[in-house]
Amino acid sequence: MRKALVAGNWKMNGSLEANRALLSALMEAIPGHDAVDVAVCPPALYLPSVIAQLQDHAIEVGGQDCSDEKSGAFTGEIAADMLREIGCRYAIVGHSERRAREQEDSLWVARKFVAAQAAGLVPILCVGELLEDREAGRTESVVAEQLDAVLDLAGVEALSSGVVAYEPVWAIGTGLTASPEQAAEVHAFIRNRVAARSTSVAASLRILYGGSVKADNAAGLFALPDIDGGLIGGASLDADAFTAIVNAAVGVQSQESA
Ligand code: PEP
C-alpha cells in the first residue's frame, strides 16, 4: 500500500508570529502517523524557523520551488542543495502559479525536478490543465506533456522517489474542486502513462490531488483508488482545516489497510 502524503503549500503567506501559532496547533493536533506523511511548505525565508520549531516532530518541511542550477550567478534563486542543507525533505516544482507567472516551461520544471532529486530532496511535481484546456478536451495532452518532460529527462526510475501532484489550474484557490470522476480519470491517466514505462514505478508512485481541497471534500477525494493524499493551499493555513484533511487521509488509509 502506498503511504499517503498531505502537504501544505503556504504560498506567500505567514509571518513569524502566525507561523509559530499555526505550527504549535498542528504539532499538538497531528501526531506522527505510520499511514500518512505530513509536510508544510512555507515561504523560503521562513524555512529555518519552521524547521527549528518542528525539530523532533514528524511533520516534515519542503520548499515551494528550487533552482534548476546548482550554484552561481542566479540572483534571487535558491539551490536545492541549500534547501536540503537546512533540513527540507521536499521541494515543490512546477506549481501552476510559477508556470504562469514566471513562464516556467515543462523542460525547465523537469530540470528542477532533477536538481531537487540530485540534492536528496523528494520533488513534488505539479501538473494540471487550464480551464480552457479542459473545455477544449486537451486535459490529457497537457498533463502528458508536463509529465513526459520529467520522464524523458530524468528517466522513469526517478519517479520512484518523487511525487506527482495533479492540480487542475481552474480548481486552485477558486473553491472549485474537480469532481471525484474528473480527478479519478486524470489520476488513472497519470498512473497509466508512467506504467507504460515501468509498471513497478507506477504502482508505487504517490499521486496527490490539489485544488480547493477542504475538510469536507478531502475524504471523498482521498478514497479514490489513484489518489494518495493532497497538496493543500488555502486550507493549510488554518490549523483546524489542515488537521481535518490529515485526519481524512489517516481515516482512508486505515480503512484500506483493514
Ligand atoms: C495549491 O496552490 O497547490 C492549491 C492546491 O491551492 P488551494 O488548495 O488553495 O486550491
Q: Say if ligand 1 is within 6 A of residue 167 CB.
A: yes
Alpha carbon distance, N-terminus to C-terminus of the chain:
12
Q: What is the pLDDT of residues 119-165, one digit of tens each?
A: 999 999 999 999 999 999 999 999 999 999 999 999 999 999 999 99
Q: What pLDDT shows up at residue 83?
A: 98
**Which of ligand 1's atoms lies nearest the C-alpha of 214?**
8
Which residue has a Cα nearest atom 6 of ligand 1?
A: 233
CA angle 117–119–125, rounded 5-degree value: 30
Class of domain 4-257: alpha beta
Is residue 135 among the annotated active site residues? no
Q: What DSSP state is assigned to residue 175?
A: S
Q: What pLDDT shows up at residue 29?
A: 95
Q: What pLDDT shows up at residue 220?
A: 96
pLDDT band at 226 (very low <50, low <70, confident <90, very high): very high
**Domain range annotation of the chain:** 4-257
For residue 91, give every residue at least 6 positions away whose Cβ sits within 8 Å of its Cβ, in sequence order, or none: 62, 63, 64, 65, 66, 80, 83, 112, 116, 121, 122, 123, 124
Which residue has a Cα nearest atom 8 of ligand 1?
A: 233
What value does the mean pLDDT take over residues 184-202? Answer: 98
Q: What is the pLDDT of residues 68-108, one digit of tens each?
A: 999 999 999 999 999 999 999 999 999 999 999 999 999 99
Residue with cell 523542460: 107
Q: What is the pLDDT of residues 158-187, one digit of tens each?
A: 999 999 999 999 999 898 888 999 999 999
DSSP for 221-234? HHTSTT--EEEESG
> Taking all residues of the chain, what is their mean pLDDT, rounded to a whole number?
96
Report helix, strand or coil for 208.
strand
Q: What pLDDT shows up at residue 78?
A: 98
Helix (DSSP H) and strand (DSSP E) numbers for the chain: 11, 8
What value does the mean pLDDT take over residues 12-33? Answer: 94
Q: Say if ligand 1 is within 6 A of residue 178 CB.
A: no
**Beta strand pairing call for 163-166 and 90-93:** unpaired
Q: Say if ligand 1 is within 6 A of residue 119 CB.
A: no
Q: What pLDDT shows up at residue 35?
A: 81
Q: What pLDDT shows up at residue 257?
A: 78
